[in-house]
Structure formats: structure tokens, C-alpha cells
Amino acid sequence: MSGQKQKIAICVSGGGTNLQAIIDKVNDGTIRNTEISIVISNKPDAYALERAKKAGIDAVCISPKGFENRDDFANAMVETLKKHDIDLVVLAGYLVIVPVKMIHEYRNRIINIHPSLIPAHCGMGYYGLKVHESVLATGNKVTGATVHFVDEEADHGPIILQKAVKVHENDTPEILQKRVMEEAEWNILPEAIDLIGAGKVKVIDGILFRLNHYPYRFHA
């Protein structure tokens, strides 16, 4: 990708705080060699769409509910990504199961941010506050966030970055969620995008390689 910026699509379902962190860090140069080409939400009233429009970024709602079946939804997503010449898809609080066709078309080019230290507190049913409720119920003293490549399983795939966050004695799920976002998510997701744009991350046979690092093998 040398000589040109990587074009990214950001998929989001809610307010878009991770989206805003990415926009800000593209604008201030923290994320290099990157252009946000489109923001996609499955919800027409998601505030993330408004954030995108305010930043001058194309924004569109593509909801599974608007199609007769998952295949039609998958085709619409892939067509939109190809129309914008997308190099990397970023799932930033996207509460939709990614269609298999989309994963196949963009193998090792879709990344996700998950608000825990995978493989803990992840998989089907673990999203939003449910993750942090699980952390507190388990009595963990440390949690965090993970950026990983997406494959056919939920919250699974080669891990790019993780960052730990302390759990405090009087935490509520809401307080813990805010700390994980501020201390981990808003930092490691932009960093992962920057690493990929710089060509410093590659996946070969399920093994993630980083420049000047030993390979990291993801275990299920």
C-alpha cells in the first residue's frame, strides 16, 4: 500500500465514541497513511452517522432488517465496500454478526475492538455492558480491550493488540465501561489501524506477524 493511503470503512451501531477517537487521530496525524472513506451503521438513528457527517465523511445505514435474507444483506455490504475501494474494515461497536461472504471477501482485512482481554468474557452474547457485568460478577481484578482480526467465529481471530485496565473495588458496569474505553479502546484501535496502514501487520496461516516482533499465534 506504499505511496497511497489505506481506505477504511468503519462499521458502528451506536454513538460512535470509538469512531470519534479514530476521526480525531486521523486528523492529528496519530493514525498515518489512512483515509476514512465511509461509515456504515445498521441503525438509521445511530449518532455515529451524525459524527461522520459532521466530519465530512460519507455515512450510510445498511440494516439486515431492510433485506429479505442474510445473503442480500451480505451482497449490499460487499458492494458498498467495493464501491469505495475499501482496504480495511473496522468494526467499532458493531452489533451485527458479520456475513460470511464479507469475511471471505475481506479475509484478514476486517478488525474488531472487543471490551475485554480475549479469550475472557467474549463470544456470542458478550457485548456492551454485558461484558463488564461479567467481569465484575467473576471478581476479576484486571480487564481491558482487544483488537483482533475477524474470522467466522464471534470474538475470534488473530490478536493484534491488547491493553489491560484495572478493575476498582466500587466499580459499576457503567463506570468500568467508561474506563476501558478511555484507557484502552480509544488508544489501541487507532494504533492497530496505524500499524496496518504502515504495513507492519501480516497474517500468514493464522499467525500474526509484526515488524520487529516475534509472531503471535492465536489459540482458540
Sorted by sequence, the CB contacts under 8 Å of residue 56 that are 6+ apart come out as none
Is a pLDDT exceeding 80 seen at residue 106?
Answer: yes
Please check whether residue 55 lies inside any domain of the structure. yes
Instruction: Tell me the C-alpha to C-alpha distance, in Å, between residue 110 and each of 34, 66, 130, 142, 169.
Output: 15, 23, 23, 27, 36
How many other CB atoms are found less than 10 A from the CB of residue 168? 11
Please check whether residue 195 lies inside any domain of the structure. yes
* Sign (positive or negative) of CA dihedral 97, 10, 92, 216: positive
Q: What CATH number should be reported for the domain holding residue 13? A: 3.40.50.170
Phi-psi region of 3 (alpha: psi -120 to 50; beta: other; left: phi over 0): left
Q: What is the domain extent for residue 79?
A: 6-212
Please check whether residue 125 lies inside any domain of the structure. yes
> How many domains are contained in the chain?
1
Please check whether residue 1 lies inside any domain of the structure. no
Residues marked as catalytic: 114
Mean pLDDT of 191-196: 95
Please check whether residue 166 lies inside any domain of the structure. yes
| Confidence class for position 137, pLDDT limits 50, 70, 90 | very high
Tens digits of residue pLDDT in 147-187: 999 998 887 889 999 999 999 999 999 999 999 999 999 99
Please check whether residue 217 lies inside any domain of the structure. no
What dihedral do alpha carbons 207, 216, 198, 92 form, nearest 10°? 90
Please check whether residue 218 lies inside any domain of the structure. no
pLDDT reported for residue 220: 31
Please check whether residue 220 lies inside any domain of the structure. no
Average pLDDT along the chain? 91
Is a pLDDT exceeding 90 seen at residue 208?
Answer: no
Render 51-77 in DSSP notation, one character per residue: HHHHTT-EEEE--GGGSSSHHHHHHHH
Query: Among residues of the chain, what percentage have pLDDT more than 70?
Result: 95
> Rounded CA gap, 106 and 100, in Å?
10
| Confidence class for position 3, pLDDT limits 50, 70, 90 | low
Q: Decide the pairing of beta strands 58-61 and 88-91.
A: unpaired
